[in-house]
């Protein structure tokens, strides 16, 4: 069970960009959950422990926290940690249902993603110098592709050359739970990607390159951590004060599509969300945008 917790913490740290303190809090909460479940039912100690979890077990865990004297706020946070883990396990295909789905908790505010606006995205991409250096061609191609497709950073660095169809203008990626999807890519991003593959990639290829699209300077497949460092560097050069993570461009992609009129179901498919409930978080952002436009446009507003 703990190996899946470690995978979740790695995802939160690298893809979601949460702080070390937050990761530490998640670890403490989830280790406490695992300890409870293993004592609650010895069957949780085997390799299929998470699939055994049900609403009764999670409710018993929350009740135990109450008996130990934890405040409502702390119990709500610990349940939120568990729900985040179960959402991850569900997307990964480790479990077939969320055992915490019907477990209620004290009402708490939901943090919304903080997307870049269109101008800030442009500044970020333009912060990559327009040269013939292979690393800069690679960086610009990656930023353009993530914003054009909304793919996760894991999906980005996992791309192989045969996943790209530059003639048709689309990319195939393998998402959570091994689910494959094909995403259209606009012509400008295709042109930048083609320039990198034809001009920059050959200079990066080494013995361990395989068919990877994005390589580091040692000729090996770029890692998620490597992409994060690259992103942070260009964000600083662009003068962007907002905390930017690999997920920021994905959030921006979804928000800008919805504000442009794209149906929620279409955005769900593009993002590879298993449930539309995950995609609906962006409707809060677009609602704020619509309210602002209403206030500007309505003669009585």
Q: Per the residue annotation, which of 224, 250, 251, 256 is the catalytic one? A: 250
**d(Cα 244, Cα 117) in Å, to the nearest integer?**
12
pLDDT tens per residue, range 53-96: 888 888 888 888 888 888 888 888 899 899 999 999 888 888 88
Task: Confirm whether 232 is a catalytic residue.
Answer: no
Model confidence pTM above 0.85 = no
- In whole angstroms, give the CA distance from residue 287 to residue 260: 12
Residue 255: count other Cβ atoms within 10 Å of its Cβ: 25
Phi, psi of 184, rounded to the nearest 5 degrees: -70, 150
Active-site annotation holds for 282: yes
Structural domains counted in the chain: 2
Which domain does 42 fall in, by range?
A: 2-92
207 in catalytic set:
no
Question: Residue 99: inside a domain, yes or no?
Answer: no
Is 47 part of any domain?
Answer: yes
- Lowest mean pLDDT across 109-123, 211-225, 241-255: 109-123
In a domain? residue 135 = yes
Q: Among residues 4, 75, 138, 247, which one is catalytic? A: 247
Q: How far apart are CA 163 and CA 144, in angstroms?
A: 16
**Residue 109, in any domain of the structure:** no
CA distance 54 to 40: 12
In a domain, 104, yes or no: no
Q: Is the pLDDT of residue 265 over 90?
A: no
273 belongs to the catalytic site:
yes
Beta bridge partners of 245: none
Residue 263 burial (CB count, 10 A): 10
**In the listed set 76, 92, 108, which residue is the last one of a domain according to the structure?**
92
Point out the catalytic residue in the list 176, 221, 224, 256. 176
Looking at the structure, tell me whether residues 271 and 136 fall in a common domain: yes
* Average pLDDT rounded to a whole number, residues 258-272: 83
């Amino acid at each position: 069970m703990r190996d899946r917790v470690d995978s979740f913490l790695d995802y939160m740290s690298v893809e979601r960009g949460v702080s070390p303190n937050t990761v530490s809090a998640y670890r403490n909460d989830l280790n406490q959950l695992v300890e409870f479940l293993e004592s609650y039912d010895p069957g949780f100690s085997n390799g299929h422990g998470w699939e055994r979890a049900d609403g009764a077990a999670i409710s018993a865990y929350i009740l135990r926290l109450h008996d130990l004297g934890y405040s409502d706020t702390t119990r709500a946070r610990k349940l939120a940690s568990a729900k985040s883990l179960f959402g991850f396990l569900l997307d990964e295909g480790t479990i077939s249902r969320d055992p915490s789905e019907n477990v209620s908790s004290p009402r708490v505010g939901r943090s919304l993603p903080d997307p870049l606006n269109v101008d800030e995205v442009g500044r970020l991409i333009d912060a990559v110098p327009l040269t013939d250096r292979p690393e800069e061609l690679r960086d610009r191609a990656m930023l353009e592709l993530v914003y054009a497709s909304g793919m996760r950073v894991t999906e980005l660095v996992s791309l192989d050359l045969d996943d790209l169809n530059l003639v048709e203008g689309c990319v195939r990626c393998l998402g959570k739970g091994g689910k494959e999807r094909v995403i259209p890519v606009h012509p400008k991003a295709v042109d930048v990607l083609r320039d990198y593959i034809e001009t920059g990639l050959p200079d990066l290829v080494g013995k361990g390159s395989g068919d990877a699209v994005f390589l580091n300077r040692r000729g090996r497949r770029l890692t998620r951590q490597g992409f994060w460092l690259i992103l942070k560097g260009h964000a600083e050069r662009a003068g962007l004060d907002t905390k930017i993570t690999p997920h920021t461009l994905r959030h921006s992609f979804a928000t800008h599509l919805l504000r442009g009129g794209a149906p929620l179901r279409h955005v769900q498919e593009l993002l590879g969300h298993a449930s539309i409930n995950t995609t609906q978080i962006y409707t809060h952002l677009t609602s704020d945008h619509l309210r602002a436009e209403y206030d500007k446009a309505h003669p009585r507003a």
